Structure 1
């Protein structure tokens, strides 16, 4: 009948329906049999897994843990974070080095000794470390690790790398490893550091946190340029290397090591600073050679106020941050008592307001006669003009000038000249809005309260940079640039531009004036007069020792009386100036902070050393 139906013969409808139903029944029975076989198969597999789990558990083996081990053993070689560069493209972060990488593996028995032990001892000899030290490190591995010394990956020489690779070991490889910070790290406080900060992740990067792009444990910039430029420095993924093994930690054939990394020609971005890495390092070396315990040096390009170098001491290691210490603070942007360098502001105000005539002299007898105010020269300077008072840093001359000015005028000119306000680059940035390049910059202070502007005693102390006056080294260096630009106040940049990974320009931060003001802080004639005054400081005043420098220099010294943390009297030693005097190339501010009273003043010596470093560099750059 089936054949009749297939051949299309006439068959009664009842018989045809019966045949179709029979065929469906056969198919259903076949499906039931297949399902039954599959169920039996799955039950058998389940029984095997349970029995195996019980068996391994009895021997202390965790199958879940071993299943994870079996998949892969990975190590992050590069966090994927963008790097910070100097103005010539030299890296300030993110140095790639050849690092020795160990992967935990089961060592098989080979005769009377374990395979791998002999090779590990060979590696120890190549590294020049004690074999027991390296063996203990290898035996204790649970996850892949880079060989480190004092918490830092050890950079292998080419010869060491070749000798280790020649051993042909599966679990020991020489891999390119990206170390975020160097040793020593140049411009450590300015660069800042990265670390975990769950509170900022949820507050500042809410969208990225909810999208899963950042976790509470993600490392983000916590200080310095790492913090302010965090939106641009964030990467798009890490570069990892993985060694695939079985549950017994034996390498799986054919898989070996695999590197995984984002393949994007544009990211991560590059932050290009205005710093000169070579000059930065040499200046820091000079600070260390002079034994500067606390202090800062700021070098600005006289043409546009760009930060060429910004050094702070004590040395800061961003790889090992201890927030209980103060060495992570960038002293170049912290405001402290300026002492007599502030007399530059007082002189500018006096000249602008015409409270003294050219050639007028002031009598210094060592004391003012009121407020208990004295000159550093207890014997007195005799009669001095304003220019001579500036060169000799006479307190009495500037106290008498300030009495003619008044407290309001003195503060007004200080603010116009870029004091009592943050001066670092601030402006609109793409997708950010108002953006401050420098982290933690302080605005400084002239008076602690409005009432003190009317206080005669406070006025004369303020005129010489004492009492409540606070100025940062960055502001002090920028004050010199303002004079060099005939009264125009610029806003120093420390980052010039941001580039894509392939070096195409992403954004350029323009050179700009401070704030929105377009007028000059002082007249060009006043600025030129003050520059001449600075020349007299070196020619015949407190900076005479600078006459032996490689360049002809000009500047102003300052000594501020402070109280140290132990309650004893101390001093801040300053020198600000420019060079070469006939064709200014750099403006420099030097601060040596919290020096015990009576200790030698090294600020002039440091200023000279910094200028000599700059002079040698300029000479070497000439064709």
Structure 2
């Protein structure tokens, strides 16, 4: 009996021992980097327990402006101190003399430190090249002057560039075949998301030293520099943004209290984004929730009378722009008396300059009789209804899009509306179901300024390797689809200029600006109310200088009351700012 019991216990012990051995082998040999369902990297965790480190560069690729300036981050020459200095007799006076930081401040910072740190972080004191050289020449263990990468407190064009975050499940979903730490940052919006695969880090650059359980140096005071040492990565994504223009644009948007809206500024020559501002701003405390993360310049909006540019193009091509024909602008679009905007009898050109709804409602109905699809066809010719952002094949990615979350515009939602004269009339003045993104409206103005030539909009010109050589080029690219003729574009140019030159034009405020402006205003009823007041979308879209176009600009303020706006003042100040820079 006792032999059987002993044998049973022996078997149980052997089984337990085998299970223990199997578990140890799983931990030590087979799943060292992907342990458990959470894919814990045991090697990394064990190293972290016995080391302290200061990350100099997280290894993720960088965004540059068109001149090569870093946009989301900046590199700062800083003084780095290690906490083991509190246990050493180091020459604090010399470091103080060179850096200009008091001995008391340095000692206090080291005494309270538990990890290596850049002095003054998150607002570090920047050292000069001479100071860096002299500090490093002291050869004091645990004292370094290095160039460290910091995230900017205020990132320009934040919604356009986008945000990053940690998401282990999404990381695994996107890159199932890549071996990446679950703490790897990934893009969750904007260009950070569109270009995420290019921006993934090869590894971090960091200063490391080994410690015991109490945080004391384990192998002396030698600090190790760890770097992926790859001459090609991380890459730099060179955008077409001009950082100076972008910052001034953001300042002006805030000056005129645009709480929901913003602006788009395009370089007409190569059809690239120079500045893009979206409000509301990203909520720094909770960036991934709320409306601030959305880029409203890429979202479809009710555009109002700006759409009359499309109706005008169709009317010109179908000979409905007879200069001798007069429209009764003393009446509303429905035929009732117009008490507030009674302009009397106006011809086609004056109707456009003064933005007479009656004229363009009638023209839209006449165009519908010719062909119910005409308004949509001309909206497409002027790039309002499709995507306008650069897209194409890049490496193994087919149909890569720079603006991954760009909305498409529209004119009608149903065939019934398309064939209904009343819907056509309301659509002719940019109401009803007519929608377009501010980016598409800016592109329409750029196309007209170029004589009808349509191009895709770029916000990235190329991706560069770390050593400065080009990895991917994003060349100028024609926008697919039909376009308006040079003749029609010329006629539209004159109409848009008349908006400013006409003494009663809706753009007469821009007549005395340093650049000659051509453009179109828009005020759209949104169907929303606040305190019983109808809310509007206020627009001004145009280009300048008129004779030699360089810039297309759209300013928009969304969901404001009739007496609010700011878009004209914002547009005017942007023109002044650009004239001063040129």
Q: TM class by shorter-chain length?
A: 0.7 to 0.9
After TM superposition, the structure 1 = structure 2 runs for residues 49-64 of structure 1, keeping only pairs within 5 Å, are none
Shift of 1:336: 0.8
Shift of 1:490: 1.1
After TM superposition, the structure 1 = structure 2 runs for residues 59-78 of structure 1, keeping only pairs within 5 Å, are 71-78=50-57
Residues 557-586 of structure 1, C-alpha deviations (whole Å, 9 max, x = no match): 111112447575211111111111111111
CA contact (8 A) 1:70 1:244 kept: no
Q: Are the structure 2 counterparts of residues 427 and 72 from structure 1 closer, same or farther at C-alpha, using a change threshold of 3 Å?
A: same
Residues 531-577 of structure 1, C-alpha deviations (whole Å, 9 max, x = no match): 00011111111111111211111111111112447575211111111
Task: For 2:412 and 2:212, locate their aligned partners in 1 and report how far apart those are by CA, in whole Å.
Answer: 71
CA contact (8 A) 2:305 2:523 kept: yes
Secondary structure class of the residue paired with 2:270: coil
After TM superposition, the structure 1 = structure 2 runs for residues 45-444 of structure 1, keeping only pairs within 5 Å, are 71-105=50-84, 107-108=86-87, 141-146=113-118, 152-158=122-128, 171=142, 173-180=144-151, 182-208=152-178, 212=179, 214-246=180-212, 248-251=214-217, 255-316=221-282, 321-370=286-335, 378-406=340-368, 407-444=372-409
Alignment match of 2:513 (pick from 549, 554, 559): 549
Shift of 1:157: 4.6
Task: For 1:275 and 1:615, locate their aligned partners in 2 and report how far apart those are by CA, in whole Å.
Answer: 18
Task: For 1:550 and 1:367, locate their aligned partners in 2 and report how far apart those are by CA, in whole Å.
Answer: 36
Report which stretch shifted further, 152-161 or 544-553.
152-161
CA contact (8 A) 1:571 1:594 kept: yes
Alignment match of 1:607 (pick from 540, 554, 571): 571
Task: For 1:553 and 1:218, locate their aligned partners in 2 and report how far apart those are by CA, in whole Å.
Answer: 48
Task: For 2:163 and 2:510, locate their aligned partners in 1 and report how far apart those are by CA, in whole Å.
Answer: 37
Task: For 1:464 and 1:148, locate their aligned partners in 2 and report how far apart those are by CA, in whole Å.
Answer: 57
Shift of 1:268: 1.6
Secondary structure class of the residue paired with 2:427: helix
Secondary structure class of the residue paired with 2:526: strand
Shift of 1:248: 4.7
Secondary structure class of the residue paired with 2:301: coil
Secondary structure class of the residue paired with 1:548: coil
CA contact (8 A) 2:119 2:125 kept: no
CA contact (8 A) 1:126 1:160 kept: no
CA contact (8 A) 1:106 1:249 kept: no
Q: Are the structure 2 counterparts of residues 168 and 571 from structure 1 closer, same or farther at C-alpha, using a change threshold of 3 Å?
A: farther
For the pair 1:511 / 2:476, whether they are aligned, the reply is yes
Shift of 1:89: 1.6
Shift of 1:480: 0.8
Secondary structure class of the residue paired with 1:366: coil
Residues 33-77 of structure 1, C-alpha deviations (whole Å, 9 max, x = no match): xxxxxxxxxxxxxxxxxxxxxxxxxxxxxxxxxx96895321211
Q: Are the structure 2 counterparts of residues 70 and 276 from structure 1 closer, same or farther at C-alpha, using a change threshold of 3 Å?
A: closer
What TM-score results when the alignment is normalised by the length of structure 2? 0.82
Q: Are the structure 2 counterparts of residues 171 and 559 from structure 1 closer, same or farther at C-alpha, using a change threshold of 3 Å?
A: same
Residues 159-178 of structure 1, C-alpha deviations (whole Å, 9 max, x = no match): 99799989997556544221
What TM-score results when the alignment is normalised by the length of structure 1? 0.77
Q: Are the structure 2 counterparts of residues 129 and 586 from structure 1 closer, same or farther at C-alpha, using a change threshold of 3 Å?
A: farther
Q: Are the structure 2 counterparts of residues 367 and 129 from structure 1 closer, same or farther at C-alpha, using a change threshold of 3 Å?
A: farther
1:588 aligns with 553
Q: Bigger radius of gyration, 1 or 2?
A: 1
Secondary structure class of the residue paired with 1:206: coil
Shift of 1:216: 3.0
1:598 aligns with 563
Task: For 2:558 and 2:242, locate their aligned partners in 1 and report how far apart those are by CA, in whole Å.
Answer: 25
Report which stretch shifted further, 291-300 or 76-85.
291-300
Task: For 2:212 and 2:138, locate their aligned partners in 1 and report how far apart those are by CA, in whole Å.
Answer: 23
Task: For 1:202 and 1:194, locate their aligned partners in 2 and report how far apart those are by CA, in whole Å.
Answer: 16
CA contact (8 A) 1:70 1:249 kept: no
Q: Are the structure 2 counterparts of residues 457 and 361 from structure 1 closer, same or farther at C-alpha, using a change threshold of 3 Å?
A: same
CA contact (8 A) 1:98 1:177 kept: yes
CA contact (8 A) 2:305 2:522 kept: yes
Residues 253-303 of structure 1, C-alpha deviations (whole Å, 9 max, x = no match): 765222111212222222111121111112112222222222221111212
Report which stretch shifted further, 339-348 or 459-468.
459-468
Shift of 1:102: 4.6
Task: For 1:128 and 1:450, locate their aligned partners in 2 and report how far apart those are by CA, in whole Å.
Answer: 76
Task: For 1:100 and 1:594, locate their aligned partners in 2 and report how far apart those are by CA, in whole Å.
Answer: 49
RMSD of aligned alpha carbons:
3.2
Secondary structure class of the residue paired with 1:448: coil
For the pair 1:478 / 2:443, whether they are aligned, the reply is yes
Structure 1: unaligned runs, 5 residues or longer: 1-66, 619-623
Structure 2: unaligned runs, 5 residues or longer: 1-45
CA contact (8 A) 1:69 1:246 kept: no
Shift of 1:456: 2.8
Q: Are the structure 2 counterparts of residues 513 and 321 from structure 1 closer, same or farther at C-alpha, using a change threshold of 3 Å?
A: farther
2:487 aligns with 525
CA contact (8 A) 1:300 1:586 kept: yes
1:24 aligns with none
Task: For 2:551 and 2:47, locate their aligned partners in 1 and report how far apart those are by CA, in whole Å.
Answer: 59
CA contact (8 A) 2:72 2:156 kept: no
Secondary structure class of the residue paired with 2:360: helix
Q: Are the structure 2 counterparts of residues 131 and 86 from structure 1 closer, same or farther at C-alpha, using a change threshold of 3 Å?
A: closer
Task: For 1:577 and 1:549, locate their aligned partners in 2 and report how far apart those are by CA, in whole Å.
Answer: 13
Shift of 1:251: 3.6
After TM superposition, the structure 1 = structure 2 runs for residues 563-578 of structure 1, keeping only pairs within 5 Å, are 563-564=527-528, 566=530, 568-578=533-543
Q: Are the structure 2 counterparts of residues 200 and 390 from structure 1 closer, same or farther at C-alpha, using a change threshold of 3 Å?
A: same
CA contact (8 A) 2:257 2:566 kept: no
